[in-house]
Structure 1
C-alpha cells in the first residue's frame, strides 16, 4: 500500500482557491496539515482539538458552549447563539458573508453517525472540500455540466455517490460508468480503482459526491490474502 501526501489530490481540475480551513469537533490531522497561508476557523469544540495539537485558530465561531473556558479568553471568537441552526451551519454562513469560502473542512468524521451525516449534509452546499485523516481521504462535490479530471496513481481507491441523484460517466476506472444513474439511497460506485494516472468524471445531471482515498490499494495482494484465508 502506498500512502500519498494529502496535498496530492488537491491538485486536480476541481481545485479552487481555498480561502480558509474549517475545523469541526471530530478527527483532525496532525499540526503539519495546518501550515497553510489561509485562516484557520474552528467551529466551537474544534478549537479544543486544535489547541491540543499546538495549533491556535485564527477565529472560533459558534455558541461557544464546547470551548474550554480556561482557553476561551485567549481566542478570537464570534458568538452565534441561534439554536435553530447547528454551529457548523452558522459558521459556514458567516464565512460566506466575509468571503472565506470555499474552505477545506476537516473534523467532519469521528462522532456519532447522525452527527456525521448532518456534517456532510451541510458540507454539500458550500462548494468546499473535506479532508479526513483516518482513513486519509478527500471529498469533493462534483457539479453537473462539468467534466472533472483527477491525476492519481494507479490503484487509488475512489467512491462516487449521487447526492441525492446524479448521472455520470467515467474514464480511467477499473469499473467504468457510462450514463450511470447514482442515488442515495440507491445504487452507487464504492471502492472503485484508478487504472492509470488519469481519471475523469463527467456529471450529466445532479450532484456527485466523490471521495478519493489518499492511498493506493494492491488488489493482487488483497486477492492473495483472501485465497490464503480460504
Structure 2
C-alpha cells in the first residue's frame, strides 16, 4: 500500500495518533496546507496550487519544495489537484490532514464528498484535523479502534438501509435512516465499535480526543 498525506488548509493539531497515521507516508501540500508541514515534522515532495494563500516567512526547506502551479481561475480546488497528483504517483491510501474547519466551509464539505467518491473508487481515505477524523462508510462492515467514551456520529450522504452499530452506547440493528435525519448524531463508543451498512453512503466522524469545554 502506498500512503500519501495531503496537507490541506483547514485546522490541524499534532497528536500521537496523527503521528502514527502519517508515519512513513509521502507528502503533498495543497497551497496554504504547506503551513502545516513544520507542525507535523514533514517536508512535502510536491506543492500544488495557485499559490494565492502562501504563508509568510516559510523556512528555506519548505520554500524550496518543487511546485506545480495552476491558474487561479480553474475548475478544481487546490486540494483536489493535490489528491490527483498523489493518485498519479501511485497512492492507494490517503490521509487528508487539515480537512476540517478553516475559513472555507465549502472546501471542508468538498473534502467529505470527495473522500466518499475516492473510497468508492477503491482508495482508502482518512480525513483528520488531529482532534477529529472522518472515514467513509460504504456497503459492508468496518471496525474501529477508538477508546471507550469516544464521541462519534454517522453522517448520511444518502438514505441509509441496513445500518447496524455495535460497541456503542446506543446500538442500532438493521435500521433505515432518512437522508438528513439526526438519528446517528452524537453516539459514544463502548467496547469495539463495528459498523455495518447494507446500502447507502455515509461518513463516520469521530473525536479520538476530548472536545474542548465551551
Instruction: Normalising by structure 2, report the TM-score.
Output: 0.79
**CA deviation digits over 1:179-219, x for unaligned, max 9?**
222344234411111222x12111100122111221369xx
**Is 2:107 aligned against 1:121?**
no
**Is 2:60 aligned against 1:62?**
no
Secondary structure of residue in 2 paired with 1:178: strand
Aligned residue for 1:132? 129
Superposed CA RMSD in Å reads 2.6
**Alignment match of 1:49 (pick from 12, 36, 45):** 36
State the shift of 1:175 in Å: 1.1
Aligned residue for 1:150? 144
Equivalents in 1 of 2:208, 2:52: separation in Å? 34
State the shift of 1:65 in Å: 2.5
Pairwise mapping of residues 51-90 of structure 1 onto structure 2 (< 5 A)?
51=38, 55-68=42-55, 71=58, 74-81=64-71, 83-90=74-81
State the shift of 1:164 in Å: 2.3
Secondary structure of residue in 2 paired with 1:94: helix
**Is 2:165 aligned against 1:170?**
yes
State the shift of 1:116 in Å: 1.9
Equivalents in 1 of 2:117, 2:169: separation in Å? 30
Query: Does structure 2 conserve the Cα–Cα contact (< 8 Å) formed by 1:139 and 1:210?
Result: yes
Closer, same or farther: CA 179–18 of 1 in aligned 2, 3 Å: farther
**Is 2:198 aligned against 1:191?**
no
State the shift of 1:125 in Å: 1.7
Aligned residue for 1:98? 89
State the shift of 1:151 in Å: 3.2
State the shift of 1:57 in Å: 2.0
Closer, same or farther: CA 115–183 of 1 in aligned 2, 3 Å: farther
Segments of 5+ residues of structure 1 without an aligned counterpart are 1-16, 218-230
Query: Does structure 1 conserve the Cα–Cα contact (< 8 Å) formed by 2:27 and 2:42?
Result: no
Q: Which has the larger radius of gyration?
A: 1
Segments of 5+ residues of structure 2 without an aligned counterpart are 120-124
Closer, same or farther: CA 108–151 of 1 in aligned 2, 3 Å: closer
Aligned residue for 2:122? none
Moved more, 73-82 or 28-37: 28-37
Work out the number of aligned pairs and report it: 197
Aligned residue for 1:110? 101
Equivalents in 2 of 1:107, 1:83: separation in Å? 22
Secondary structure of residue in 2 paired with 1:83: coil
